[in-house]
């Protein structure tokens, strides 16, 4: 037991890496995914097709395979990434595809009549997006997206397989020395749970608060 307490700072470092990886992935995937999502809904046919195909492929394979593909598969093609950034890139790709779906769902769930009402009072397309669609889309997007952030946190555990010292890796390393797997795994579970449960609770609060937008 004291060995675990002794190892605590090391675990916290791992936790920090986990949070860092998750935060970067969430931020990057939001920007990329939102842009692609808008392209999917309002773009010309080639763009819509490309985003659709890319998104379906990325979401159709396991995250682990995606990570391995990025980490092992890019160097032979000339692009060498260190484990941290390879994992971040793969996870970002995966999350971005999810964000595209959230965006599509958020915009798609807005009734057609809203665009028509905007047209009827004489707003031009960009103003319709800005004043009518976007405010409603954001409120529909936020709850599932925040809930989805938990997927980024859970996915970040896979970076340990590439040797990145996140919480998962730190736990395994400590176990390698203490030979007491159970308490450490339980501690790790508790930490991940704490982070993710707060996030999903927050998303539920937001969902209730924005319910008025769904009529």
Partner 1 sequence: MGYHLNFNLVWRHFDKLLNGLVLSLELALLSILIGAVIGLTLAVWYVSAGRFARGLISGYVEVIRNVPLLLLVYLVFYGLPTVVNIAYDATTSFVLTLSLYSGAYLVEVFRSGLDAVPRGQIDAGRAIGLTPIQRLAYVRLPIMTRISLPALSNTFISLFKDTSIASVIAVPELTFGAQWINNTTFRIVEVYLVVTTIYLIAGYMILLLLRLVERRFRVER
Partner 2 sequence: MEVVPLLAIEQLSKSFGSNEVLKSVDLSVSAGEVVTIIGPSGSGKTTLLRCVNFLEFYDGGSIRIDGSEVGFRDGSQRRRRTERDLARMRAETGMVFQSFNLFPHLTAEQNVTLGLQQVRGKSRKDARDTARHWLARVGLEHKAGSLPSELSGGQQQRVGIARAVAMEPKVLLLDEITSALDPELVGEVLDVVTQLAADGMTMLMVTHEIAFARDASHRIVFMADGRVSAEGSPDHIMSGADGNDRLEAFLSRFRGSRI
Of 35 and 178, the one with the shorter C-beta distance to partner 1 is 178
What mask of x and - would describe binding to partner 1 in positions 51 to 70, judged by CB under 8 A? ------x--xxxxxx--xx-
Q: Which of 42, 125, 193, 197 binds partner 2 (CB under 8 A)?
A: 125
Dist. CA 111–CA 210, nearest whole Å: 16
Per the CB < 8 A criterion, the answer to whether 147 and 101 are in contact is no
Residue 6 or 125: which CB sits closer to partner 2? 125
How far apart are the C-alpha atoms of 72 and 92, rounded to whole Å? 17
Here the tokens at position 45 are: 């046919």
10 Å CB burial of residue 61 (0-12, 13-18, 19+) is exposed
Q: How far apart are CA 215 and CA 203, in angstroms?
A: 19
Q: Is 46 in the site for partner 1 (CB under 8 A)?
A: no
CB of 111 to partner 1, least distance (A): 20
Q: With CB cut-offs between 5 and 8 Å by kind, which of partner 1, partner 2, none does residue 196 bind?
A: partner 1
Q: What contacts 57, CB < 8 A, 6 or more positions away?
A: none
Site membership for partner 1, residue 1 (CB under 8 A)? no
**Kind and range of the H or E element at 48?**
helix 45-60
The interface partner of residue 68, options being partner 2, partner 1, none and the CB cut-off 5 to 8 Å by kind, is partner 1
Distances (CA, A) of 196 to 45, 73, 88, 147, 180: 38, 31, 19, 8, 25
Q: Rounded to an integer, what distance in angstroms lies between the CA atom of residue 55 and that of residue 104?
A: 12
| Residue 139 near partner 2 by CB under 8 A | yes
Considering only 6, 42, 72, 131, the residue that binds partner 2 (CB under 8 A) is 131
Cβ proximity to partner 2, 81 vs 206, nearer residue: 206
Q: Which of 119, 177, 204, 209 binds partner 2 (CB under 8 A)?
A: 119
Among 26-34, 114-122, 145-153, 201-209, the segment contacting partner 2 (CB under 8 A): 114-122
Contact footprint for partner 1 (CB under 8 A)? 57, 60-65, 68-69, 72-73, 76-78, 150, 153-158, 160-161, 168, 171-172, 175, 180-182, 185-186, 188-189, 192-193, 195-197, 200
């Amino acid at each position: 037991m004291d060995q675990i307490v002794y190892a605590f700072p090391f675990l916290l470092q791992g936790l920090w890496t986990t949070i860092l990886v998750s935060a970067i992935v969430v931020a990057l995937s939001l920007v990329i995914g939102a842009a692609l999502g808008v392209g999917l809904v309002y773009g010309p046919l080639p763009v819509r097709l490309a985003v659709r195909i890319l998104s379906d492929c990325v979401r159709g394979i396991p995250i682990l395979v995606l990570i391995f593909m990025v980490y092992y598969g890019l160097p032979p093609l000339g692009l060498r990434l260190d484990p941290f950034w390879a994992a971040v890139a793969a996870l970002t790709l995966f999350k971005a595809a999810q964000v595209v779906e959230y965006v599509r769902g958020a915009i798609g769930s807005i009734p057609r009549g809203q665009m028509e009402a905007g047209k009827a009072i004489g707003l031009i397309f960009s103003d319709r997006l800005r004043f009518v669609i976007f405010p409603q889309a954001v409120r529909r997007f936020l709850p599932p997206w925040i809930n989805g952030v938990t997927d980024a946190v859970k996915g970040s555990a896979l970076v340990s397989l590439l040797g990145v010292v996140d919480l998962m890796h730190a736990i395994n390393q400590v176990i390698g020395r203490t030979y007491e797997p159970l308490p450490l795994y339980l501690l790790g579970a508790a930490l991940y749970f704490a982070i993710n449960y707060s996030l999903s609770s927050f998303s539920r609060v937001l969902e209730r608060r924005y319910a008025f937008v769904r009529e």
